[in-house]
Amino acid sequence: MLGTMMDVPLLLSSILRHAEAYHGDGEVVSATVEGGLHRYTYAEMAQRSRKLANALARLGLKTGDRVGTLAWNGYRHLELYYGVSGSGFVCHTINPRLFREQIAYIIAHGGDSVLFFDLTFLPIVEELAEQLKGLKAVVAMTDEAHMPKSAALPGLLCYESLIAGEPDSFDWPSFDENTASGLCYTSGTTGDPKGVLYSNRSCVLHAMAIAMPDGLGLSANDAICPIVPMFHVNAWGLPFAAPMTGAKLVLPGAHLDGASLHALFEGEGVSITAGVPTVWLGLLDWMDTHAREFSILKRVVIGGSAVPPIMVSRFHSKGVEVRQAWGMTETSPVGLAAALKPKHQAFPAEQRLALECKQGRPLFGMEFRVAGAEGREMPHDGKSFGSMLVRGPWVAQAYFNTATSPAHEEHPGWFDTGDVVTMDAEGFIQIVDRTKDVVKSGGEWISSIDLENIAQAHPAIQEAAIVARPDTRWGERPVLVVVLKPGASFTRQDMRAHYEGKTSKWCVPDDVIVLDELPHTATGKLSKKTIREILQEQMAGRAPDPEIGS
Ligand code: AMP
């Protein structure tokens, strides 16, 4: 027997309608590409999104058509999120930090009909001009006063002019909640980037889940600033969850340095922010150098790569809670959040810190398995490890237009994350490593994350990575690659002394390499692949035991 409740589809346009109706005066503040802050309300944002929807219809888009964006976190990008997806089209966010060839591939593979871009990315668009000739429109996200004159892009449209003459009434269509709403490519270390095609339903459910107190914990009383870009996995769903809760939304644009972020947080009363560890390193260092504190910020959500304990302690010393979250492009992204339970509040500080440094416990809706050899479920004892599998309503079951399947071969219906993890009795999951980053020495696994966390706590070290070096005797051995703080030095002897007593003897890295900077991927994570390549070059012809650093 079926229940007798209304069958109302979960659509992204309903978030917009909700925000306009009940949080109409809620603010959206954006740092703009043109300069200065732009501010308006959810009511105005909803009105402009409707004008945009009318403009898109006039361009002749049909249900399911892809609309590409190359843009920062800003109000026009937000209008595209809703104007495009609310109309039944697909908002295809493209990561401008990828190589040109990858961007070209992604636009072609995604089959984009229209491309919108921020002025910052004009050079990329000009380079791709030939490829874009067949598109219905290429639109610069600016006003007439700032329109570039581009010989390479003769038919270039202006965003403000495109929507200016449109009526501000538009009836958001109702359709199947499983209709595609967004597309985001994930660039693995091998093969072509793969497209993850989100649906209205998956995005709405994900937004509800992250908003929960033990998710990312959002409320109408918050001002939320996603530093994580809107071009990568929908800025972790915050552009949907903020208007859903009525929270003020603060969008940082291209200004992600410590000084700009601190000024924005203080000026706009930001209470919750979210981003990858690299960004926070920059902010914390800037604050230390300039003796600044936070007056309002209460929580920072950190994910995308492991959070070093020293980073958690540095935020704690500034009175800010750290909520680690885990996710992937294929999981919308958030699946785990490390919110402590009441019993943990009484734990000694060190034990609480250890829990906060785990990736977190499952949000409702997401099921996790730790699969050992032959697919056996491993005990939830916080020690036994295996491959992390996940399933849930916001997990990809296929990639866009590709035969490659994200499903685990031995576990149909489960997505294999590629992360090796432990789970404890409370459901807290800890990543031991990415399957491909683990160092396998003498048949034993060494967690690169553990060794990086230890290194990161040394006062001379700015940023650290552990990579495997091939070894004839052991198979692989760990090598530490670091960037030093200005004026600092760090030798092999310093390294050995620092690791002593903090890990087993055989896990201590064999060597340390100092670089001026560490390479990062387009999503701000350490690029272990590039580091391994640099290492190969560095190790060739290396003298034994030199003094490193100066
Ligand atoms: P992407 O799809 O590019 O966002 O990358 C997903 C991968 O990032 C995951 O499989 C993890 O290996 C890694 N990742 C995400 N969040 C965390 C976290 N909190 N700690 C460690 N690794 C993470």
Q: Which atom of ligand 1 is nearest to the CA of 324?
A: 19
Ligand 1 atom having least distance to the Cα of 233: 4
- pLDDT band for 545, please (50, 70, 90 cuts): very low
Residue nearest to atom 6 of ligand 1 (CA): 328
Does residue 327's CB lie within 6 angstroms of at least one atom of ligand 1?
yes
pLDDT for 550 beyond 90: no
521 pLDDT exceeds 80? Answer: yes
pLDDT tens per residue, range 420-478: 999 999 999 999 988 888 898 887 888 899 999 999 999 999 999 999 998 888 889 99
How much is the average pLDDT of 130-147? 97
Is there a catalytic annotation at residue 186? yes
Our answer on whether the CB atom of 523 is closer than 6 Å to any ligand 1 atom is: yes
Nearest Cα to 89, choosing from 193, 171, 165, 183? 183
Write the DSSP string, 280-298. HHHHHHHHHHTT---SS--
Q: What ranges do the domains of the chain cover?
A: 12-323, 365-435, 439-539
pLDDT band for position 533 (cuts 50, 70, 90): confident
| Confidence grade of residue 368 (pLDDT, cut at 50, 70, 90) | very high
Cα gap 217→201, rounded to integer Å: 21
CATH code of the domain made up of 439-539: 3.30.300.30
| 30-81 confidence digits (pLDDT tens) | 999 999 999 999 999 999 999 999 999 999 999 999 999 999 999 999 999 9
Looking at every residue in the chain, the average pLDDT score rounds to: 94
Instruction: Please report the pLDDT score of residue 445 as a whole number.
Output: 82
Instruction: State the average pLDDT over residues 112-139.
Output: 97
Name all contacts of 101-107 with Cβ < 8 Å and 24+ positions apart: 102/187, 102/193, 103/70, 103/128, 104/128, 104/131, 105/192, 105/193, 106/185, 106/193, 106/195, 107/68, 107/131, 107/132
Architecture of domain 365-435: Roll (2.30)
Query: Residues of the chain with pLDDT > 90: what percent?
Result: 84
440 is catalytic: yes
238-241 — which CB contacts under 8 Å span 24+ positions?
238/210, 238/274, 239/78, 239/81, 240/12, 240/15, 240/81, 240/203, 240/204, 240/206, 240/207, 241/207, 241/208, 241/210, 241/211, 241/216
Mean pLDDT of 289-308: 96
CA 417 / ligand 1 centre spacing (Å): 9
The CATH fold assigned to 12-323 is Rossmann fold (3.40.50)
542 pLDDT tier (thresholds 50, 70, 90): low
For the segment 473-508, what is each residue's pLDDT rounded down to a tens digit?
888 999 999 999 999 999 999 999 999 999 989 899
